Amino acid sequence: MPRKFLVPLDLASETPRELTFAADLAKALDAEVILLHVVDYLPTLLPVEVPGGYPLPQLDIVRGAATTKMQRIAAKAGVPDARTQIETGAAAEQIVAFAKRERVDQIILGSHSHQALARMVLGSVADRVAHTATCPVTIVRDLKH
């Protein structure tokens, strides 16, 4: 059975280190790469944008744009056949739930938030995934910081 690697992306970078790492590992192990982007979504019935959420028609636009960007990023990283998926909700919880549902062998994600206040208030997505996932988690540091 082929291995599956899940690579959650925040789409802040066109060349995320975690995807480069996953692409190299996937080539060596003949594994499938699945890219996941989680949209923080707050449902609303109002036809206006609210902080942290999108009305439903805008959510479709956000999903389409995110899918296109993930495909472009995957092609640059040398994994043009990577599967892409968009989920909505809290990032860490959606990543862990998707990994369980898809029975991935490993989650490979980046460690991006280095601001002390942001980590104290929000917590680190990477930390929460590492502590709650039921499969191995590899956290790839951003060496720029």
**pLDDT by residue for the chain (145 residues), tens digit each?**
679 999 999 998 999 999 999 999 999 999 999 999 999 865 555 555 555 555 566 778 889 999 999 999 999 999 999 999 999 999 999 999 999 999 999 999 998 655 554 455 445 899 999 999 999 999 998 766 5
The tokens of 104 are what? 């991935």
- Written in H, E and C, the secondary structure of the chain is CCCEEEEECCCCCCCCHHHHHHHHHHHHHCCEEEEEEEECCCCCCCCCCECCECCHHHHHHHHHHHHHHHHHHHHHCCCCCCEEEEEECCHHHHHHHHHHHHCCCEEEEEECCCCHHHHHHHCCHHHHHHHHCCCCEEEEECCCC
pTM for this one? 0.84
Contact criterion met (CB below 8 Å) for 104 and 34: yes
* Domain encompassing residue 104: 4-141
**Separation between Cα atoms, residue 57 and residue 9, nearest integer Å:** 23
Q: Which of 13, 2, 25, 29 is nearest to 70 (CA)?
A: 13
**Confidence (pLDDT) at 57:** 64
**Confidence (pLDDT) at 43:** 56
**Confidence (pLDDT) at 53:** 58
Instruction: Please report, for the domain that includes residue 42, its CATH number.
Output: 3.40.50.620
**Separation between Cα atoms, residue 7 and residue 12, nearest integer Å:** 14
- The DSSP letter of residue 77 is T
How many structural domains are present in the chain? 1
- Three-state secondary-structure class, residue 81: coil
